[in-house]
Structure 1
Amino acid sequence: MLVNEGVELETPPPGLADEFHTLFSSDALTFLSEIISTFQPEVDKVLKLRVLRKVQLDLTGGLPVFAKDTAHNRNDPDWRVSPVPHRLHCRHVDVGDLSPCDTQRFIQGLQSTAQGLQVDFDDGNCPTYHNQIKGIYNVYQAVHNQFPDVPPIAQAPVLMLRPRAWNMVEHNMMVYGREVPGPLFDFGLLMFHNAKLLLQNQSGPFFYLSKVESYMEARLWSQIFFWTEKKLGLPAGSIKATVLIECVLASFEMEEILYELKEHSAGLNCGIWDYSASFVNKFGPRADFLLPDRSKYVDMEKRFLHSYMDLLVQTCHRRGALATGGMAALLLPRDKESDLYKTVLHTVTRLKLLEINAGVDGFMVYDMDLIEPMQKLFQLHSPDQNQLLQLRDDITVTPEDLLVMPAGGVTLYGLRYNIAVGVLFIEAWLSGRGHFFYLGKVEDSATAEISRSQVWQWIRHQVRLEDSGTLVTRALVRGLAEDLIGDLKAAIHCQTSRDEQRLMTAVSMFLEIVQKNDFPEFLTTYLNLDHTFLSFHNQLENKHTDKAPKARL
């Protein structure tokens, strides 16, 4: 245990002593202590405001609206966000879910032709102490040009650093007797060690901000940015951040979020699964917000999702901000001559062309083999660096557009698929991995959130399967989970008794989560605070190896 003026920090995991001592210098610890002690009360406040807002919605049965008390900002036609640096003018294709502790994939990303890398400490990353230290140190090496055969940071894809969201805490550091907010731990270290060099190379510091639910949370990030810039001697407005609109409540405050971050905004981003899961999070017990089978009835062509994307594009471009779309999770088969390869590429192309036609300025892919064809897609259909001139004045989005649920039921396939994804995500986290591959897709916390959310909601509302009329009960879900164990063992290449024990633990934890009376707000929070998860990680720290997720299926 390292103790330094109100700071308690766990000793480094095995094999990371050099990385640890590089990152946690005396000056870095002082900076971390100051940023955390300065903003911890404000973090507490925004988290309590989340709880209050949810309670108010539950008690009143109310729905979100475009707020009257901020209408003056929405109605003022004159304000714009500050211009972004040259390297952010073109955001066509970012690599998403790039967990930086996976050194090999991180280097591949740096060597790629992508416009940017979503350096992900959130959705695609499991926040073990090892992973955080290794990942932050790998960013340090990239910025300081210490990786062989990698372009200098001024020529590599820009690093879009994505710290953890406000719901996550860092267990291995305490400041004045409290565990610290995960995002401040990540942001503080990333800024302290890299910000000046990134700025000198006109390559940052750039960030993604996860799970922002209100303009008050955007205001907090703005305060953190201004404080950090002053503390580190950077020009005000140096930091640029893209806010991921992953909550239905935030979709009613997009203009206000841009306004609060107008000196620091790199735009807004829309995705599909975290956003869809937020409907269950905020309105799950209400029968009129029953979300049908996502594998069959939920996609970006549905009214509530395409309206959200249209509004995001319109809002951003009206204010001079970039609008980016979600991540293509499909994986291209290795055989480029196969019919399956052509089918997957056609599917990704069709879905991403919808986003381009909606006016987005860029999006993400997981599979790096998709970078070039998606860049060509942009060049063919939107050859300019961005689509900021596409103002989308042709659309008007109403609250009803944003809140109407798509028609459809629940299938046995969809229920089994959601169970499998939920269980395999927990198993991945127990293994120290933030994402995994299943049935030709990459799955991460976003898809795990929608999967476990739907199973919880279907049990709660006692829906019937449209195939057979069978009632969805916890007994049915338990039985299906048991029936899936053979397939799940094959999915994780189960070879040892320890592998089997970890899988069975994941099944038990999944069943526990989906039958809770009160919906756990975030799966990652639930796992990060769970004794079983922490016990597995204590064992992992003693035998960790730096490896990528398991092979594609």
Structure 2
Amino acid sequence: MDDRIRITDTAEGQDRVLTDEAMAFLLQLHDRFEASRQQLLQIRRKRRAAFADGDSPRFLESTRRIREDGSWRVAPPAPGLEDRRVEITGPIERKMTINALNSGAKVWLADCEDASSPLWRNVIASQVNLQDAIRERIAFTSPQGKDYRVTAAETPTIVVRPRGWHLDEHRILVDGVPMSGALVDFGLHVFHNADELIARGRGPYFYLPKLESHTEARLWNEVFVVAQHLLVIPQGTIRATVLIETITAAFEMEEILFELREHSAGLNAGRWDYLFSMIKAFRLRGPEFVLPDRSQLTMTAPFMRAYTEQLVRACHRRGAHAIGGMAAFVPSAKDPVATERALAAVAADKAREAGDGFDGSWVAHPGLVATCREAFDAVLGAQPNQLGRSREDVPVDGAALIDLSTTPGEITEQGLRSNIEIGIRYMEAWLRGHGAVAIHSLMEDAATAEISRSQVWQWIHNESTTSDGRIVTRDRCLALVDDLRAGFDLAPGNRFREAIALFREIALEETYPAFLTLAGTERYLGDGIERPTTGSIPVQDAPERLIPLDQPVEGEPERAAA
């Protein structure tokens, strides 16, 4: 292994994943793209500061020609991605991998990001499990002796979600600087599995999270071009679906498709992170930007309708799939009445998405696959998708995307209490290594926890009132934390004390951390090695870019002038 690289932790399966050849590949990606990543993270911080000062997102004048040019299209669907009517998501844990492969879904989103806690053992195990799943050799026996095997005649197409651009992999250092978590997750998967996937009639496919601009999509496209060149696989083999889960990305959907068009597989309405992004962007902009209880924020809210309908319009205008949002309910045989009621709500939600023109949608549990499939079967029939259905009837309306004033609902004592409880319970499980957690019959992940803690922070700093007329204050929230503490199991082995401390830091203090995963990793999952704060390397101190953001990559068609 190159002596510039230092790995600071160990986990079972590491020798199989971090081979000398794989690390050499990662090093090439790091050297070529790390400075660009840091530039883009600085742009994020500047844009976030501008929103705090009163600026608002808008459609870019500099890219008007891309939006107005009706001639360009993304690549046609790749093998295994023609029909995406049901996609199941979850962490790449061994048992959950087998359950996903047996689920009957068309696509499995194998998640290295919001549904995965970034403990080193999880990072390595995810790559081991992907290798075994792709090669049809995955099996698992539980501590109770139950065997899990893949028995489905047809398994879902695998699409991997790497970590976002903002996250470091602090256990792999190059010249003392952490590698990008995104490039580690992407690079290890594509290096070990691309040839095998191609041989099996599929390809290395990805979901790209947390993008905030088309220039961030451009960087991913450059990564794909270079990776395919280094691995000697045809250009365009890699495909990526972008989650539109930030408010700035919602204003650049066609530009994002354009940047990735040779590698594009569509866009997804990442509803939970999108709500988190809205709260984060406008958290100090006054009462008109304060949203009601999380449980009341449905996809029928006017600003969410505008977002999803404009997403379908952008996708189908360019020949790209539009994938709907997550159904997070967890069915339970112990409460058949509640389960029946929740399944009816899921069915209505999926029927609305199919009726709006989406080509498929997400579920978080195998028990929801049939409900989602039935809703899309009713609209699609034997057709694999709705790419031929234009939504030109939908207006491109930037004002509608950020008009929160017409959102129905209220802030309640129960909503405040629920946000605090979910935030703490989720972070306790996350610190123990679980990124997707069933809490009160809903599958919670980092995105839903972000909404919970961000709403609490916003309500405090806007002096919002609950429906009983009382102001939400820090002291009131601290009292609720103390009241809830009695219901937490504080026996040895859990991490509730740390989770409570973390929640207080990210929800109840003056400073607002951009991501709970950053704050939690730096404080509780670090390794004690001194290094620059995540995402804070100044551009002038970074190595010279090898691929300027405004120039095409060698071997790639030139971009149309914006």
**1:254 maps to which residue?**
253
Q: Is the 8 A contact 2:228 2:235 kept in 1?
A: yes
1:548 aligned residue: none
CA distance in 2, matches of 1:212, 1:249: 9
Shift of 1:12: 1.9
Q: Which amino acid aligns with 1:301?
A: T
Q: Indicate whether 1:480 and 2:503 are aligned.
A: no
The 3-state SS of whatever aligns with 2:6 is strand
Task: Confirm or deny: 8 A CA contact 1:214 1:249 kept in the other structure.
Answer: yes
Q: 2:492 aligns with which of 469, 489, 497?
A: 497
1:11 and 1:434 map into 2 onto residues whose CA distance is: 20
Q: How many residues align?
A: 516
| Pairing 1:146–2:137 present | yes
Contact 1:174 1:180 survives alignment (8 Å): yes
CA contact (8 A) 1:168 1:528 kept: no
Q: Work out the percentage of aligned pairs sharing the same amino acid.
A: 35
One-letter amino acid matched to 1:138: N
**Distance in 1 between residues matched to 2:458 and 2:132, nearest whole Å:** 44
2:423 and 2:394 map into 1 onto residues whose CA distance is 37
Alpha-carbon distance in structure 2 between the residues aligned to 1:203 and 1:334 = 36
Which residue identity lines up with residue 203 of structure 1 in the other structure? R
Gaps of 5+ in 1: 537-553
Give the Å deviation of 1:339: 2.4
Q: Does 1:402 align with 2:397?
A: no
- State how far apart, in whole Å, the 2-side matches of 1:289 and 1:243 are: 29
C-alpha separation between the residues in 2 aligned to 1:456 and 1:11?
35
**Distance across 2 between alignment mates of 1:535 and 1:264:** 36
Q: How far off is 1:57 after superposition?
A: 3.0
For 2:505, the equivalent position in structure 1 comes to: 512
* Corresponding position of 2:33: 39
Pairs within 5 Å for 1:400-479: 400-405=399-404, 406-466=407-467, 468-479=468-479
TM-score normalised by L of structure 2: 0.89
Q: Name the residue aligned to 2:65.
A: 72
Corresponding residue for residue 544 of structure 1: none
Q: After TM superposition, give the deviation of residue 150 of structure 1 in Å.
A: 2.9
Note the C-alpha offset of 1:515.
2.5
Match of 2:88 among 95, 110, 113: 95
Output the amino acid matched with 1:449.
Answer: E
Residue among 124, 127, 131 paired with 1:136: 127
Measured in 2, the distance between the counterparts of 1:171 and 1:498 equals 25
Q: Which amino acid aligns with 1:400?
A: A
Corresponding residue number in structure 1 for 2:162: 163
Worse overlay, 368-377 or 161-170: 368-377
The Cα shift of 1:297 comes to 3.4
- TM-score, normalising length: structure 1: 0.90
Deviations 1:468-513 (A, max 9, x none): 21111000000011111233x2xxxx372343xx212211221121
Query: In the alignment, which residue of structure 2 is the partner of 1:205?
Result: 204
Aligned mates of 1:150, 1:515 — CA distance in 2: 45
Q: In the TM superposition, what is the alpha-carbon distance from 1:9 to its structure 2 partner? A: 1.2
* Equivalent in the alignment of 2:217: 218
How far did 1:290 drift?
2.9
User: Is the CA contact 1:87–1:158 (under 8 Å) kept in the aligned structure 2?
Assistant: yes
Task: Identify the structure with bigger relative contact order (alpha carbons < 8 Å, sequence gap 6+).
Answer: 2
Match of 1:546?
Answer: none
Could you tell which deviates more after superposition, 288-297 or 154-163?
288-297
Match of 1:292, as an amino acid?
L
Question: Could you tell me which amino acid in structure 1 is paired with residue 432 of structure 2?
Answer: S
CA distance in structure 2 between the aligned counterparts of 1:533 and 1:472, rounded to whole angstroms: 31
User: Deviations 1:373-398 (Å, cap 9, x if unpaired)?
Assistant: 32122112221211112211211131
Q: Which runs of 5+ in 2 are unaligned?
A: 140-148, 529-562
Measure, in 2, the Cα distance between the counterparts of 1:352 and 1:497.
42
Q: State how far apart, in whole Å, the 1-side matches of 2:79 and 2:68 are.
A: 29
Aligned partners of 1:183 and 1:535: how far apart in 2? 19
In the alignment, residue 463 of structure 1 is paired with which amino acid? S
Alignment of 1:261-300 (within 5 A): 261-300=260-299
1:11 Cα offset (Å): 4.5
Partner of 1:391 in structure 2?
390
Q: What is the RMSD computed on CA atoms of the aligned residues? A: 1.8
| One-letter code aligned to 2:363 | V
1:116 is displaced (CA, Å) by 0.9
| Deviation digits for residues 155-209 of structure 1 (CA, Å, limit 9, x no counterpart) | 4211110001111111110112211110111111001000111112122211000
> Counterpart in 2 of 1:370?
368
The 2-side partners of 1:28 and 1:535 are apart by: 23
**Whole-angstrom CA distance in 2 between matches of 1:426 and 1:308:** 29
Per the alignment, residue 5 of structure 1 pairs with 3
Paired residues of 2:466 and 2:472 also in contact (CA < 8 A): yes
Give the deviation of 1:86 after TM superposition: 3.3
Q: How has the CA–CA distance of structure 1 residues 369 and 498 changed in structure 2, closer, same or farther, with 3 Å as cutoff? A: closer
